[in-house]
Amino acid sequence: MTDNIILRCEGVNKLYKQGEETIYALKDVSMSVRRGEFLILCGKSGSGKSTLLNVLSGFDVPTAGKVIIGGEDMAGMNDRQRAKLRNEKIGFVFQSYHLLPILTARENILSPLLIGKRPVNDKFFEELCGSLGITHRLEHLPSEMSGGECQRVAVARAMITQPDVLFADEPTGNLDKKSAGELIALLKQAHDRFGQTILMVTHDESLLPYGDRVYRMENGTPMLV
């Protein structure tokens, strides 16, 4: 694998049987993500972009093909092995935040490190929270924060392990226009400041200029724009 390639997939297919018909959610997908790149997958609903994101991040398995992240091939891994790989190499930002309501922002952010029994890098934690503008909200519960603040906490949680790749699935989907603009600018800032590799799925065409490369999904196949 080329040193500059942090994630790649080869010949990935994802198909479902619907009666006698075979439905391809992904069809012969081969692509790569460079270290430090901000790559965007766009497309209409049902185009396969979220399915591809789930396969690349190990939340789902392809029917055929392989996915290699940080030099590790997920083919043949069981659920436990994939979960371990996700904790060590992957950060994920969901559209709906998925913060634990009984934990403070600080506790939510640090939870991946606690689960993985990994030490906290206090300096990185402080820099990360400062760059996302949430230092003053760390002792608050999710119910005490705005949607934009909750999503910033979710981004910090995804980045706290300094993952090989940060995946973001429609991260601005539940935000108003102002908050969405602020969040995407912060993701870009994290990409520039920390060298974070980001792969983001969106249907919002206005976000495409933020990407170093953009792939448009159509009928389960990504095409470079």
Q: Is residue 30 within 8 Å of 10, Cβ to Cβ?
A: yes
DSSP label at 185?
H
pLDDT of residue 2: 53
pLDDT of residue 1: 42
CB atoms within 10 A of CB 43: 22
CB atoms within 10 A of CB 52: 28
221-224/72-73 β-pairing: unpaired
Give mean pLDDT in consecutive 10-residue pieces for the chain, a chain of 225 residues: 82 89 92 95 90 93 93 88 90 89 97 92 95 95 94 94 93 86 87 92 91 94 93
pLDDT of residue 6: 95
Q: Where are the domains of the chain?
A: 5-214
> Using CA atoms, how far apart are residues 132 and 157, in angstroms rounded to an integer?
11
pTM, two decimals, is 0.90
CATH number corresponding to 5-214: 3.40.50.300
